[in-house]
């Protein structure tokens, strides 16, 4: 088997396309492998609108970055035809190895997306040797495509919570579908105020959901959220997340302890002794701080 056949096999090129030349450019660092694909002379191509086999009207040169060939960057070049369909006129075809308008092959994009799922985009971009700007464009395309298919017509119970992004005071509010077992996150938006609830309502409506169908919402006790939910989802009963209730009680107990400590000096172990009193796992020091007559029994 010749080298070109091996490469063609690896690329998965099918008729009428075939690999006609390969060239390793050692002047560049890292080295670049350039592959040229060509369609058989006189081949017919499917009209991108109706699929009818049509003659080529004309050709234009295109180039795509492909997955590395060992440590060398790899590029594919080809002259891509426009078909002349009697019904739809002159249209550029989509080649089988890349999507329209992309400077990368489908395989390259697939690997880039896989990496971006596992690590920060900037790190993934470095591994793929492209700018993070270009990787973001790939991600936005596929995420946008997936979002277009998202069907929220069955959603009737959601939970929302804000989380800090990028370590600081930048917040993102996340909305999850409480009945969706796999990939429950259905919407995420910058901010943590009432505008996030209004944005979710618009998003839900744009994806076949009905605000009037939402019967249950779980959230924290933020007054902004509670007021906005009443406006956007008037039929939903709101449940406050137990984690936030416990958090508020814990803070209140601690405030009382601090206020009392200012009046009467207390042992330092009192703080955790009060917070853990119900758990029965106090250290001897904590127990003694709560009950001065408590004695450690040595076994
Ligand atoms: Zn057509």
Q: Report whether pLDDT(3) > 90.
A: no
Q: Which pLDDT value is given to residue 2? A: 64
**Does residue 296 carry a pLDDT above 70?**
no
% of residues, the chain, pLDDT over 90: 61
Residue 250, pLDDT > 60, answer yes
Ligand 1 centroid to residue 51 C-alpha, Å: 6
Q: How many A from CA of 55 to the centre of ligand 1?
A: 11
Measure 97 CA to ligand 1 centroid, in angstroms: 21
Cα of 60 vs centre of ligand 1, distance in Å, is 20
Q: How far is the CA of 291 from the centre of ligand 1 (A)?
A: 87
- Per-residue pLDDT for 188 more than 90? yes
For the chain, the distance separating the N- and C-terminal CA atoms, rounded to the nearest angstrom, is 81
Instruction: Report the distance separating Cα 140 and Cα 163, nearest Å.
Output: 22
CA–centroid distance, residue 56 to ligand 1 (Å): 13
Q: Would you place residue 1 in the very low, low, confident or very high pLDDT band (cuts 50, 70, 90)? A: low
pLDDT in tens, 77-91: 999 999 999 999 999
Q: From the DSSP assignment, how many helices (H) and strands (E) are in the chain?
A: 9, 12
- Beta-bridge partner residues of 223: none
Work out the pLDDT band at 299, boundaries 50, 70, 90: very low
pTM: 0.71
Pairing of strands 53-54, 45-46: antiparallel
Which one-letter DSSP state was computed for residue 130? S
Residue 116 has pLDDT above 80, yes or no: yes
CA of 46 relative to ligand 1 center, distance in Å: 8
What does residue 256 show for φ and ψ, rounded to 5 degrees? -65, -45
Confidence of residue 295 (pLDDT cuts 50, 70, 90): low
Mean pLDDT of 261-270: 79
3-state secondary structure of 177: strand
DSSP letter at 212?
G
Distance 54 CA to ligand 1 centre (A): 8
User: How remote is the CA of residue 96 from the centroid of ligand 1, in Å?
Assistant: 18
297 pLDDT more than 60: no
- What integer is the mean pLDDT of 270-291? 76
What is the per-residue pLDDT for 288?
Answer: 79
Given a cut of 50, whether residue 271 has pLDDT beyond it is yes
Query: Would you state the pLDDT for residue 213?
Result: 94
Provide the token pair at 263: 């009046």
Whether 115 and 89 have beta carbons less than 8 Å apart is answered as no
Question: Where would I find the beta strands (DSSP E) of 144-299?
Answer: 157-165, 170-177, 185-190, 216-219, 237-240
pLDDT in tens, 47-99: 999 999 999 999 999 999 999 988 899 999 999 999 999 999 999 999 999 99
- Centre of ligand 1 to C-alpha 52, Å, is 6
Distance 87 CA to ligand 1 centre (A): 5
């Amino acid at each position: 088997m010749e080298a070109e056949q091996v490469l063609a096999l690896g690329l998965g090129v099918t008729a009428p396309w075939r690999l006609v030349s390969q060239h390793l450019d050692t002047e560049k660092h890292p080295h670049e492998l350039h592959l040229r694909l060509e369609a058989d002379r006189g081949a017919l191509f499917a009209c991108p609108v109706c699929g009818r086999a049509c003659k080529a009207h004309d050709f234009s040169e295109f180039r795509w970055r492909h997955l590395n060939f060992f440590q060398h960057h790899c590029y594919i070049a080809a002259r891509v035809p426009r078909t002349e369909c009697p019904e739809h006129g002159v249209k550029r075809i989509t080649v089988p190895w890349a999507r329209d308008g992309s400077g990368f092959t489908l395989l390259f994009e697939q690997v880039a997306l896989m990496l971006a799922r596992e690590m920060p985009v900037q790190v993934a971009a470095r591994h793929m040797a492209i700018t993070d700007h270009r990787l973001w464009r790939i991600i936005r395309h596929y995420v946008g495509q997936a979002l277009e298919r998202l069907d929220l017509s069955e959603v009737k119970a959601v939970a929302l919570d804000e989380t800090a992004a990028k370590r600081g005071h930048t917040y993102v509010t996340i909305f999850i579908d409480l009945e969706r077992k796999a990939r429950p996150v259905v919407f995420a938006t910058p901010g943590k105020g009432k505008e996030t609830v209004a944005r979710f309502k618009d998003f839900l409506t744009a994806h076949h959901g009905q605000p009037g169908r939402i019967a249950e919402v779980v959230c924290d006790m933020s007054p902004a959220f509670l007021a906005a939910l009443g406006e956007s989802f008037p039929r939903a009963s709101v449940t406050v997340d137990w984690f936030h209730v416990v958090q508020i009680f814990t803070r209140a107990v601690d405030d009382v302890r601090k206020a009392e400590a200012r009046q009467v000096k207390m042992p330092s172990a009192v703080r955790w002794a009060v917070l853990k009193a119900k758990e029965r796992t106090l250290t001897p020091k904590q127990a003694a701080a709560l009950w001065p007559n408590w004695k450690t029994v040595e076994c």
